Amino acid sequence: MVPLKAQASMIQTASQAFTEIMELMVRDPEVLRLFHFGTHDFASLSEEERLRFSSMMGAMLHRFENLVAQTERGLLPCDSWDGAANRLRGTLALPDTLDWWARGKHVFNDQLQNWVDREVIEK
Protein backbone atom coordinates (compact mmCIF):
# COMPACT_ATOMS: atom_id res chain seq x y z
CA MET A 1 0.00 0.00 0.00
CA VAL A 2 1.34 3.40 -0.99
CA PRO A 3 1.35 5.95 1.84
CA LEU A 4 -1.26 8.67 1.37
CA LYS A 5 1.35 11.41 1.64
CA ALA A 6 3.32 9.90 -1.25
CA GLN A 7 0.15 9.55 -3.32
CA ALA A 8 -0.88 13.13 -2.56
CA SER A 9 2.54 14.34 -3.68
CA MET A 10 2.30 12.40 -6.94
CA ILE A 11 -1.24 13.66 -7.56
CA GLN A 12 0.03 17.22 -7.13
CA THR A 13 2.90 16.53 -9.54
CA ALA A 14 0.48 15.13 -12.11
CA SER A 15 -1.76 18.16 -11.86
CA GLN A 16 1.13 20.57 -12.03
CA ALA A 17 2.78 18.93 -15.04
CA PHE A 18 0.17 19.96 -17.56
CA THR A 19 -1.19 23.00 -15.74
CA GLU A 20 2.14 24.82 -15.96
CA ILE A 21 2.28 24.35 -19.72
CA MET A 22 -1.33 25.46 -20.16
CA GLU A 23 -0.73 28.54 -18.00
CA LEU A 24 2.31 29.43 -20.09
CA MET A 25 0.17 29.26 -23.24
CA VAL A 26 -2.44 31.54 -21.66
CA ARG A 27 0.18 34.09 -20.56
CA ASP A 28 2.20 34.09 -23.76
CA PRO A 29 0.33 34.23 -27.09
CA GLU A 30 3.56 33.37 -28.95
CA VAL A 31 3.84 30.06 -27.06
CA LEU A 32 0.20 29.30 -27.87
CA ARG A 33 0.79 30.12 -31.55
CA LEU A 34 3.89 27.95 -31.61
CA PHE A 35 2.03 25.05 -30.00
CA HIS A 36 -0.91 25.40 -32.39
CA PHE A 37 1.17 25.49 -35.55
CA GLY A 38 3.57 22.85 -34.26
CA THR A 39 0.71 20.43 -33.74
CA HIS A 40 -1.32 21.39 -36.82
CA ASP A 41 1.12 22.67 -39.44
CA PHE A 42 4.67 21.81 -38.38
CA ALA A 43 6.03 22.41 -41.89
CA SER A 44 4.98 26.07 -41.76
CA LEU A 45 7.31 26.76 -38.83
CA SER A 46 10.75 28.24 -39.32
CA GLU A 47 13.77 26.17 -38.30
CA GLU A 48 14.03 28.14 -35.04
CA GLU A 49 10.32 27.66 -34.33
CA ARG A 50 10.63 23.91 -34.97
CA LEU A 51 13.44 23.75 -32.42
CA ARG A 52 11.41 25.74 -29.91
CA PHE A 53 8.35 23.54 -30.48
CA SER A 54 10.45 20.40 -30.12
CA SER A 55 11.93 21.74 -26.88
CA MET A 56 8.46 22.60 -25.55
CA MET A 57 7.10 19.16 -26.42
CA GLY A 58 10.21 17.51 -25.01
CA ALA A 59 9.83 19.35 -21.71
CA MET A 60 6.16 18.39 -21.50
CA LEU A 61 6.77 14.74 -22.35
CA HIS A 62 9.70 14.38 -19.97
CA ARG A 63 7.30 15.39 -17.20
CA PHE A 64 4.89 12.74 -18.39
CA GLU A 65 7.63 10.10 -18.39
CA ASN A 66 7.66 10.35 -14.63
CA LEU A 67 3.87 10.23 -14.34
CA VAL A 68 3.61 7.13 -16.53
CA ALA A 69 6.33 5.42 -14.52
CA GLN A 70 4.70 6.31 -11.20
CA THR A 71 1.29 5.13 -12.43
CA GLU A 72 2.70 1.82 -13.65
CA ARG A 73 4.41 1.35 -10.26
CA GLY A 74 1.12 1.97 -8.46
CA LEU A 75 2.31 5.19 -6.82
CA LEU A 76 -0.11 7.39 -8.75
CA PRO A 77 -3.70 6.21 -9.13
CA CYS A 78 -4.70 6.08 -12.80
CA ASP A 79 -7.68 8.35 -12.26
CA SER A 80 -5.48 11.03 -10.72
CA TRP A 81 -4.00 11.99 -14.04
CA ASP A 82 -6.77 10.98 -16.44
CA GLY A 83 -7.49 14.56 -17.52
CA ALA A 84 -3.85 15.30 -18.28
CA ALA A 85 -3.46 11.92 -19.97
CA ASN A 86 -6.49 12.66 -22.16
CA ARG A 87 -4.98 16.00 -23.20
CA LEU A 88 -1.69 14.28 -23.95
CA ARG A 89 -3.51 11.63 -26.03
CA GLY A 90 -5.30 14.36 -27.94
CA THR A 91 -2.13 16.33 -28.58
CA LEU A 92 -0.09 13.33 -29.67
CA ALA A 93 -2.90 12.05 -31.91
CA LEU A 94 -2.69 15.12 -34.14
CA PRO A 95 -1.00 14.14 -37.43
CA ASP A 96 1.86 16.65 -37.21
CA THR A 97 2.54 15.76 -33.58
CA LEU A 98 2.58 12.05 -34.37
CA ASP A 99 5.14 12.74 -37.11
CA TRP A 100 7.20 14.74 -34.62
CA TRP A 101 6.91 11.89 -32.09
CA ALA A 102 8.00 9.27 -34.64
CA ARG A 103 11.17 11.25 -35.38
CA GLY A 104 12.10 11.96 -31.76
CA LYS A 105 10.58 9.31 -29.51
CA HIS A 106 13.95 7.60 -29.02
CA VAL A 107 14.95 10.28 -26.48
CA PHE A 108 12.18 9.19 -24.10
CA ASN A 109 12.18 6.16 -21.84
CA ASP A 110 10.63 2.84 -22.85
CA GLN A 111 7.70 3.27 -20.47
CA LEU A 112 6.54 6.48 -22.17
CA GLN A 113 7.14 5.04 -25.63
CA ASN A 114 5.06 1.97 -24.72
CA TRP A 115 2.32 4.17 -23.21
CA VAL A 116 2.12 6.27 -26.39
CA ASP A 117 2.06 3.13 -28.54
CA ARG A 118 -0.71 1.60 -26.42
CA GLU A 119 -2.77 4.69 -25.57
CA VAL A 120 -2.41 6.84 -28.68
CA ILE A 121 -1.18 4.97 -31.74
CA GLU A 122 -3.06 1.69 -31.27
CA LYS A 123 -6.34 3.36 -30.30
CA distance 107 to 65: 11
Please give the chain's pLDDT, 123 residues, in tens: 667 777 677 677 767 767 888 898 899 999 999 999 999 999 999 999 999 999 999 988 988 888 888 788 877 777 777 777 888 888 898 889 999 999 999 999 999 999 999 988 887
Return the sign of the alpha-carbon dihedral for residues 81, 10, 61, 112: negative
